[in-house]
Amino acid sequence: MFRNIAGVVLGLMVAMGLVLVIELVGMTIVPPPEGIMSVDKVKQQAAFAELTPASFAFVLAAWTVGSFGGSLVAALTCASRRMVLAGIIAAFLWFAALVNLISIPSPVWFWVAGLTLIPLAWWLAVQVALIIRPNRPRGPQPFDMRAKNMACK
């Protein structure tokens, strides 16, 4: 139980860290327009209208990589119910993205891509985690007598 909780917390930290770093890199490469942090709603709306597709692409990459990285860490760390617990990270990012999409005017393609790529990255991360660390069979396993050369001939 502790390992599952630690895995989810660690996954959330990794996801938020990745989103932060990628969005900061995006803001240095494609600086936001003047007035984006303005209190005046008219200036803010005008600044959001000036955002380029590259600005949206960095945010989309941040959400996708954050979902993948956080879900992968959670799926590799958690002891049981790895797919569900990794899904908590993706669900957190999905709802955070939905809040951003509702509060910040953005193009339709960004809505579709953002809300689609986050769960897709979660699924891909779980598949990679299952390749790296497959699920162990539960319960008692039959003893293979052939491995010990004890089988009847």
Other Cβ atoms within 10 Å of 145 Cβ, number: 10
Tokens of 86: 């990794």
pLDDT tens for 118-138 read 999 999 999 999 999 887 766
Read off the pLDDT band of 145 (50, 70, 90): low
What pLDDT is stored for residue 47 in this prediction? 76
| Domain residue limits, the chain | 2-148
The answer to whether the CB of 38 falls within 8 A of the CB of 44 is yes
Checking if the pLDDT of 149 tops 80, the result is no
pLDDT at 24: 93
Q: Is the pLDDT of residue 44 over 90?
A: no
Calculate mean pLDDT across residues 137-148: 64
DSSP per-residue string spanning 1-55: -HHHHHHHHHHHHHHHHHHHHHHHHHHHHSPPPTTTT-SSHHHHHHHHHT--HHH
Are 70 and 120 spatial neighbours (Cβ–Cβ below 8 Å)?
no
Distance CA 70, CA 13 (A): 7
The predicted-structure confidence for 57-101, as pLDDT tens digits, reads as follows 999 999 999 999 999 999 999 888 888 999 999 999 999 999 999
pLDDT above 80 for 111: yes
| Neighbour-count burial of 18, counting CB atoms closer than 10 A to its CB (0-12 exposed, 13-18 middle, 19+ buried) | buried
